[in-house]
Structure 1
Amino acid sequence: MVVLTHDVDPQGDLVVVLKEPNSANLTLDVSIRPSGTVLGKEGYQNDKDVLNLPKAKSILPAVEGSDKEPVEVHFKVSSQHMKLASPFFEQMLNGPWRESTFSKAPSTPPSRAGPGSLEPCAEIFDDAYERLPPRSAACTSSSPLPTREVNVHGWSPEALLLVLKVIHGMNDEFPLVTSVEFLAEVATIVDYYQCQRAVQLAGEVRHQTMYRFPLAYGKRCILWLFIAWAFGWRDDFSKLASFVIEHGEGRRLIKSNELPVTVILGTLDNKRQECITKILTRLDELADELGDDRAGCDHRCSSMLLGSLLRERKNLSLLDPDLQSPYTGYSVHEYAKKFSAFRVIDWGYRGWGEGVYYSTWVYHHYIDAAAPEGD
């Protein structure tokens, strides 16, 4: 067993024991469409956007790359700071004990899964990206001093150390610029332990120094979406959410692994599907209205509009297939582009009097009604 110790608070009365460091898979894989690819068809590629620079300095230099010995990282902290910063830790540390909180015999500590454990003490992620009860959660004494231990699992030790330092008032320890992926790891811990208020100032500084609205849909956009959610950047989260609804092409094209963004993405993708359903439904309704002379200025006008609608839907493959939810491979943005591509034609006829002329620009008035309003 390799044990590394960091004294966040040298006078602290709580030791946070990180087991299996870096085992949580917080990577994000997003399949995007290369430029020029036909919508709705195969041909996606993994987003290669580089989001892991600059690299965070490892606090495990002596054991990186070694799988021969298990590693634990011990962080000595103040239980009062942790309880004030995190409702999670407050509930955990104020919860009932099976036995005495402090052991007087450090040479014979209780089993981590046996007597002396606290339930719930820590949680982990499973393969389904859900929070589960702990595999082991012990609060013991590792010295004659009244020091508790709390086990946590899987986190990046660098990200966890940074969060603990900020909770203890060391905001200057937070680099002004980090990689987006590292900031997402920090955001995951902040969200998991519900300590947004304690890190609010540090988060706002990173917002000013790092955040720029993404220029395209992909991995960067979704990571910033989650970071904005975790740090409570409401305006930015709202704008990013609208962008994902407009440009996303389906939840199946995103593999979030253990990054806790599944529920958010599912909600936004449901909105995307609702928008596309409204568009297709309105187009079908418009065809019925034109066929029944309930739209258009007169019979000739509605006939021209109906013919134009049927031809455009046939020529533009995006609108021709009998699409079904969840519309994987189609975005609201692309539908809007197809609407703008519908051609406007002028036509007219001559009767006994002056000629009468019409333009199918009227048709665009009906098409605009098909586009759902933003939420």
Structure 2
Amino acid sequence: MAHVIDPSGEVTIILHNANAPFAIWSAPISSGPARKADDTNKGVRIRVSAKHLILASPVFERALTGPWRESITLDQEGSTEITAEGWDIEALLIFLRVIHCQFQLVPLDLSLEVLAKVTVIADYYGCRAALGFFSCVWVQDSIIPKTYSRDLMLWVWVTWFFTLPDQFRGATSIAMSQCSGEIYSLGLPIPRAVIERMNAVRQSSIQSLHGLLEGQGAKILHGERGCHFECRAMLFGVLSMHMHDNKLDWPAILGQSYETSARATETVRRPRWREPCSEGSSNTNNRRLHNCPDCNFTRLLGPVEQSVQGLRLQNFLV
């Protein structure tokens, strides 16, 4: 299979293992599985311009002007070959047309999947600036995921690549709020510091939520909440049962998302029972509904944030 970007181009890119699996996700993929790798033994050949490659990419510049076989062959024979591995064919052709200034052939609408693949290629070849203009064209509301998924991690990468602070903050907020385990980069070139920070913030947020519940339980246990022994016993029992039933105790709480835990924290049932109107009274008809203010867990626990605040992109930029 052959493609021609520049008919008079001096360089042939030979793409092996085309359409290799990309950003592998262990859960079902909302946007459909990645295409299988191309099994063409000779690879996909793409004719391009050496000058455009050199001007756009420091990686290509080193290959074509340094003391390497590709550069020597280009000088001696006027043409050369460069190999590439695993790239998606559609994404690679879009990338090459951008750096060859063939904007009339560049699609204006890209799926998030293709956009992520194009930007990964551009990042690998050091061509972030060349794609900067297209962030205004390709980044559209229709491709923004609303839930934690493979697509969301693609979106985290795209917002990082194009330096979109508001969108990056929103994407990382969703990931840290909705992920029920460790957050992975899926092999995308998201900086390790970003992934490590996301996991640290997610865990610390869940720890804070658990600490709130444990702290109020300790206050009930030590008599700082509740108006008498029976009241404290009822409150402590209800809170303990709710934490157990909703996996809010430790370490079970780490196995579910912050968002799930936060919602469960706001649904602790208010215990209701009747007690004698006067001390020592045994008349079952002379009872009133217990109305201690501490029986209202919404008041006792206070407002609970329903999501984790996203990361600030500026904190990771050198």
Q: TM-score range by the shorter chain?
A: 0.7 to 0.9
* 1:50 matched residue in structure 2: 31
CA shift at 1:250, angstroms? 1.4
**Alignment equivalent of 1:18, drawn from 14, 21, 33:** 14
**Cα contact 1:282–1:370 (8 A) shared by 2:** no
**Alignment equivalent of 2:265, drawn from 305, 322, 339:** 339
SS in 1 for 2:114: helix
**Cα contact 1:18–1:152 (8 A) shared by 2:** yes
State how far apart, in whole Å, the 1-side matches of 2:229 and 2:63 are: 69
TM-score, length basis structure 1: 0.65
**Cα contact 1:24–1:154 (8 A) shared by 2:** yes
* 2:205 matched residue in structure 1: 275
CA shift at 1:303, angstroms? 7.0
SS in 2 for 1:360: helix
**Cα contact 1:344–1:360 (8 A) shared by 2:** no
CA shift at 1:148, angstroms? 4.9
1:250 pairs with 2:181: yes
1:183 pairs with 2:179: no
1:235 pairs with 2:166: yes
TM-score, length basis structure 2: 0.75
Q: How many residues align?
A: 296
Larger RCO, structures 1/2 (Cα 8 Å, 6+ apart): 1
Alignment of 1:125-136 (within 5 A): none
**Cα contact 1:17–1:151 (8 A) shared by 2:** yes
Question: Which string of whole-angstrom CA distances, capped at 9 and with x for unpartnered residues, describes residues 51-83 of structure 1?
Answer: 579x9xxxxxxxx9755x32241331243x434
SS in 2 for 1:178: coil
CA shift at 1:305, angstroms? 5.7
Moved over 6 A (4+): 346-349
Q: Which has the higher helix share?
A: 2
CA shift at 1:196, angstroms? 2.0
Question: Aligned in 2, Cα 1:255/1:243: closer, same or farther, shift over 3 Å?
Answer: closer
CA shift at 1:185, angstroms? 1.4
* 1:111 matched residue in structure 2: none
State how far apart, in whole Å, the 1-side matches of 2:88 and 2:173 are: 30
Which residue type is aligned with residue 201 of structure 1? F
Alignment of 1:107-186 (within 5 A): 116-117=68-69, 138-141=70-73, 146-186=78-118
Which residue type is aligned with residue 13 of structure 2? V
* 2:293 matched residue in structure 1: 359
* 1:319 matched residue in structure 2: 247
Question: Which string of whole-angstrom CA distances, capped at 9 and with x for unpartnered residues, describes residues 62-117 of structure 1?
Answer: xx9755x32241331243x434433444555565x1xxxxxxxxxxxxxxxxxx44
SS in 2 for 1:176: coil
SS in 1 for 2:45: strand
Question: Aligned in 2, Cα 1:259/1:74: closer, same or farther, shift over 3 Å?
Answer: same
CA shift at 1:359, angstroms? 2.7
State how far apart, in whole Å, the 2-side matches of 1:367 and 1:85 are: 57
Question: Which string of whole-angstrom CA distances, capped at 9 and with x for unpartnered residues, describes residues 5-39 of structure 1?
Answer: 5233x4555x25233141532143242xxxxxxxx
**Cα contact 1:305–1:360 (8 A) shared by 2:** no
Identity among equivalent pairs (%): 20
Q: Show structure 2 runs of 5+ residues with no match.
A: 280-287, 311-318
* 2:282 matched residue in structure 1: none
* 1:213 matched residue in structure 2: 144
SS in 2 for 1:251: coil
Q: Show structure 1 runs of 5+ residues with no match.
A: 32-45, 56-63, 98-115, 118-137
State how far apart, in whole Å, the 2-side matches of 1:267 and 1:90 are: 34
When structure 1 is superposed on structure 2, of 333-342 and 308-317 the one drifting more is: 308-317
**Cα contact 1:346–1:358 (8 A) shared by 2:** no
When structure 1 is superposed on structure 2, of 359-368 and 277-286 the one drifting more is: 359-368
Which residue type is aligned with residue 106 of structure 2? F
Which residue type is aligned with residue 88 of structure 2? S
State how far apart, in whole Å, the 1-side matches of 2:82 and 2:229 are: 72
**Alignment equivalent of 1:82, drawn from 20, 32, 53:** 53
**Cα contact 2:112–2:143 (8 A) shared by 1:** no
* 2:302 matched residue in structure 1: 368
State how far apart, in whole Å, the 2-side matches of 1:211 and 1:171 are: 22
Question: Which string of whole-angstrom CA distances, capped at 9 and with x for unpartnered residues, describes residues 264-302 of structure 1?
Answer: 555423322221122122322222233334x43xx5179
* 2:284 matched residue in structure 1: none
State how far apart, in whole Å, the 1-side matches of 2:150 and 2:165 are: 20
**Cα contact 1:251–1:265 (8 A) shared by 2:** no
**Cα contact 1:190–1:196 (8 A) shared by 2:** yes
Which residue type is aligned with residue 318 of structure 1? N
